[in-house]
Structure 1
Amino acid sequence: MEFNCFGENSVANNFGGKDSPQMHKSVLNSKATEDSLCTFAKWEPRHGQFRFRHPWSQYQKLGTLCRQCASSMEALASYVITTSKTQCPAAANPELSCKVRKTCGEMSLHSSKVLRDLAMATRTMTVPSPVNITMATAVKAAESLRSELAENTALLQVMHVAVTATLLADLVDRVKEIAECVDVLARLAHFKNPEDTKNVVVSTVSRGIDEPLPDVVIL
């Protein structure tokens, strides 16, 4: 994507090719499967962490937000691929392109980290680690970029870069909504707190050392 948008050599210069990540496309058509799984799950007896009145509807809401995020990814990917085929990637204003590229890199890095952490938390049913700092950094970068696009008319000289940056900023908004939804799910479904689990293990080991088990007496 960097090669297509900013005219830089990158391992992603085959963006859209066979080796390009396409995992988001499977999310776009996941609604029917998710609805069926949630319907069947509601009829299952209570077991493990799946208690009575488990918030399955929140999973469906999370799925909707994930599809919106995947849709934003698809829009971004489609635009980048189209741009690379219709115009020269070399920017008319290298200085502005470099500035936008740096901001886009920050948004991509922090957003992807947040999504990985949220996916792991949902899969393991543990309270997600605080993403406030990481998410705030991505949101701040997106807001700063939007402000720059609105005020700096020189960015019109690199319109394809500006559009790409705007689409990426919208993607950050979708990630923020997913983070908020997972926080609600963790509270409603009583996700485990990793710190509590760690404390239990430490406490058990400590008792084993300080308070050895009594000898077994055979009568």
Structure 2
Amino acid sequence: MDSIIIAIPAAEAQVSGPPSKEKKKLKLSTSPIVSYIKEKRSSKQDTRKLIHSVKVGIALVLVSLLYLLNPLYEHVGDNAMWAIMTVVVVFEFFAGATLRKGLNRGMGTILGGGLGCLAASLAQQVGGIGNSIIVSVFVFVFGAAATYSRMVPSIKKKYDYGAMIFILTFNLVVVSGLRAEEVMKLARERLSTIVMGFAVCVFISLLVFPMWASDELHDSIASNFQHLATSIEGCLEEYFRLVNDKEDQPTSSFISSCKSVLNSKSKDESLANFAKWEPWHGKFGLYHPGEKYLKIGELLRELSSAILSLQDCLQSPKQASSSMRQLIREPCEAVGLSLALTLRELGESLMKMTRSQQEDLIAPKLKSMASELSSAMSSSQLVPLENVDGLAIATSVFMLMEMVEKVEKLAKEVEELGELAGFKTQ
């Protein structure tokens, strides 16, 4: 069988011993920190859910006064039900989502009611069987056009709910068969109660313990750096663990954290979309760099995919022998530790919205690590290995080099975000 040749530095040609006590302490200390962060975030989420529930309850009580108080009921009548429906449908967890849905509902109601009144007026002027024909044509044209617009990605992303309300309002008005002046009165009364419900939602959502989607996106992206740092450490620790140790110790749970980052695209895009509708608040002011956050999130998902690919390679039945794995243990663990420390530094810098003085040194450090890994594959000193051993080790080293490049891109994006958002220098 032909042998594959892989380069190993001379200083690392011997089997290295178990990790030093300092490294063990460093790795073991991260687990309680991660657990504490998860527990703290879980407790914070439970509190926020309770606050949101209370806010919705208060909003429902306020709009119900339109029914409960006779002076108010005399002005709005049965149309008060539209205010209650507006609160139930519009009030969302995040303030930006509430504004987005409320404004969409308002625009859909105004456009649908206005065009419905015009169509109903035109149909009444024609009269006879032409009335039904014109109403049917208008219902078909506007219903089909609005439905098609909901499938256009750019419209669906921002105005899908408004298009749906437009279809509903237009059909209710134009098919009602009332005289034009009564249609106008009906649309005006319903719009006024919808505005009341929307005003209550906005007032409570923005002024009573507001939940900002921009802050949630910021915290989510920053915490993903910590998750991936722990995943890299856990992946390499499991790979270089001795066979007897693997039988005694259960598989690490870092895979679940890595997969949660990989599946975060939909959540990040929703939060960025909600953040665009939010008014001035926090350190970003009127402008929130949502696109830059989405770019960082995409790079984090690419890195997460690389970590999972490395994990699949390390769990393959065809693995290098334990002695051969020890030959590359020291350089690989050094690279993994540097990657983890870099990710934690970037995550902490992003979380605190500060620019570290060490950021300028991250790129050169990462390039140095890539150079060290490349030297392990160079032809300066050759060690003949079995075919399976050489392929397995070469694959692992290659995946680590890919991770170094992705972390380098992440560092660049975080630095650009700091410049764009005006992060303070430590």
Do both share a fold (TM > 0.5)?
yes
Counterpart in the other structure of 1:192: 424
C-alpha contact 1:65 1:174 (8 A) present in aligned 2:
yes
Superposed counterparts of 1:1-219, under 5 Å: 5=239, 8=242, 13=246, 18-22=251-255, 23-82=257-316, 85-87=317-319, 89-91=321-323, 94=324, 97-133=325-361, 135-151=363-379, 154=383, 156-157=385-386, 158-159=389-390, 160-194=392-426
C-alpha contact 2:236 2:333 (8 A) present in aligned 1:
no
CA drift of 1:161 comes to 1.7
Instruction: Note the alpha carbon deviations across 1:51-92, whole angstroms, 9 max, x for none.
Output: 22221110010011101110110110111011xx3346334x
SS of structure 1 residue aligned to 2:254? coil
C-alpha contact 1:121 1:128 (8 A) present in aligned 2:
yes
Aligned residues: 186
Per the alignment, do residues 3 and 27 of structure 1 end up closer, same or farther by CA in structure 2, a change over 3 Å counting?
closer
Q: Which runs of 5+ in 1 are unaligned?
A: 195-219
CA drift of 1:138 comes to 3.9
CA drift of 1:122 comes to 1.3
Per the alignment, do residues 125 and 10 of structure 1 end up closer, same or farther by CA in structure 2, a change over 3 Å counting?
farther
Report the structure, 1 or 2, having the larger helix content: 2
Q: TM-score, normalised by structure 2?
A: 0.40
CA drift of 1:106 comes to 1.4
Higher Rg: 2
Instruction: Note the alpha carbon deviations across 1:135-194, whole angstroms, 9 max, x for none.
Output: 533432322322431425536543212211111111111111101100000110111223
* 1-structure distance, mates of 2:258, 2:313: 15
C-alpha contact 1:34 1:63 (8 A) present in aligned 2:
yes
In angstroms, what is the RMSD of aligned CA positions? 2.7
Q: Which runs of 5+ in 2 are unaligned?
A: 1-234
C-alpha contact 1:6 1:89 (8 A) present in aligned 2:
no
C-alpha contact 2:272 2:290 (8 A) present in aligned 1:
yes
Runs of 4+ in 1 over 6 A off after TM superposition: none
Q: TM-score, normalised by structure 1?
A: 0.73
Instruction: Give me the identity figure in percent.
Output: 28
* 2-structure distance, mates of 1:74, 1:43: 35
Per the alignment, do residues 109 and 119 of structure 1 end up closer, same or farther by CA in structure 2, a change over 3 Å counting?
same
* 1-structure distance, mates of 2:307, 2:377: 20
